[in-house]
Amino acid sequence: MSEKLRILIVDDERPARERIRELLAATDVEVVAECKNGAEALEKIREMKPALVFLDIQMPGMDGFAVLQALNPAELPVIVFVTAFDQYAIRAFDVNAIDYLLKPFSDERFDAALIKARRQCEQNDREDNDQQRLLDLLDGLQSSGEAGQQASPLDRLAVKTTDRILLLKTEEIDWIEAAGVYVNLHVGRRSYLYRETIGALAVQLDARQFIRIHRSTIVNIDRIRELQPRSPGEYYVILQDNAALKLSRGYRSNLQKRLGKPF
């Protein structure tokens, strides 16, 4: 018999905690604890080591983001965010392929999130570093200011070169590659080093034009020419200039949503 999935519920509102527990009651899981604030959540995550946490973001004092920032990467469980944030913050979750429940959520939406999270917990050798995606999300939201505020997407980047500062239109960028605390902006045959992490930049770009296909890669969707299968379940994104970029399984759903069909 397989071990039950150990789950922690974190929300400062009792009705919200009760609703999640109620929905979980019909499933084969174990709710190890409920927490009403971030400090309790931090203690219980370290003490009980749950596989999955339903984590409210907007809590007084230590919010959900602060809880994750206080944990070491090795301590991070699978997270499903529970939030009432607006569309700007939701875009940040989408680009990092992080699952979330937007309050108020339906039973069906909850079931879908639980299925996805359970699958994530059962994958011992995941291709993508889910911890890194969480860190990218936190980094991006911090760098972009208050997560609940509406912000216009960037349409230009001020790129320093050896002898000038180039005002680069974002629409001219073909694809973006992570390089530590920098990114490489690929524009035609040239590339420019820009000081920003890929997670922070991802949430500032126009989500209608740019899509993340890997934790290290963002592409301008207008530059995509075709998808090429390379092995079972693996695809490469081929751009107009013949650049071949790996489509990560963890970000595949992003592209499927944009194309409107599975592949």
Q: Do 176 and 198 share a structural domain?
A: yes
Domain membership flag for residue 244: yes
Domain membership flag for residue 85: yes
| pLDDT score at 87 | 60
Q: Do 171 and 125 share a structural domain?
A: no
At residue 44's C-alpha, the angle toward residues 38 and 46, to 5°, is 105
Which residue's entry shows tokens 């079931």? 111
| pLDDT score at 133 | 73
Domain membership flag for residue 20: yes
Strand-strand pairing, 210-214 and 52-56: unpaired
Supply the range of the domain harboring residue 186.
156-259
Domain finish residue from 82, 108, 143: 143
| pLDDT score at 66 | 84
SS3 194: strand
Q: Do 134 and 22 share a structural domain?
A: yes
Q: Do 11 and 107 share a structural domain?
A: yes
Considering its fold, how many domains does the chain have in total? 2
Q: Do 182 and 74 share a structural domain?
A: no
Q: Do 198 and 84 share a structural domain?
A: no
For residue 37, the domain's CATH number is 3.40.50.2300
Q: Do 139 and 10 share a structural domain?
A: yes
Domain finish residue from 84, 110, 143: 143
| pLDDT score at 33 | 96
CA separation for the pair 202, 167 (Å, rounded)? 18
Domain finish residue from 85, 120, 143: 143
Tell me how far the alpha carbon of residue 52 is from its chain's centroid.
16
Task: Write down the pTM of the prediction.
Answer: 0.62
Strand-strand pairing, 182-187 and 224-231: unpaired
* pLDDT tens across the length of the chain (263 residues): 467 899 999 999 899 999 999 999 989 999 999 999 999 999 999 999 999 999 998 888 888 888 888 888 778 888 898 887 666 566 667 666 678 888 888 999 999 999 988 888 887 544 455 667 777 777 666 555 544 444 578 899 999 888 899 999 999 999 999 998 789 999 999 999 998 888 778 878 888 899 999 888 999 999 999 999 988 878 999 999 999 999 988 788 778 877 777 77
Q: Do 114 and 27 share a structural domain?
A: yes
Q: Do 121 and 183 share a structural domain?
A: no
Q: How far does the chain reach from its first CA to its final CA, in angstroms?
A: 34
Domain membership flag for residue 123: yes
Concatenated DSSP letters of 122-191:
H-SS-SS-HHHHHHHHHHHHHHTS-TTS--PPP-EEEEE-SS-EEEEEGGG--EEEEETTEEEEEETTEE
Q: Do 165 and 54 share a structural domain?
A: no
| pLDDT score at 151 | 57
Helices (H), 71-122: 87-95, 107-122
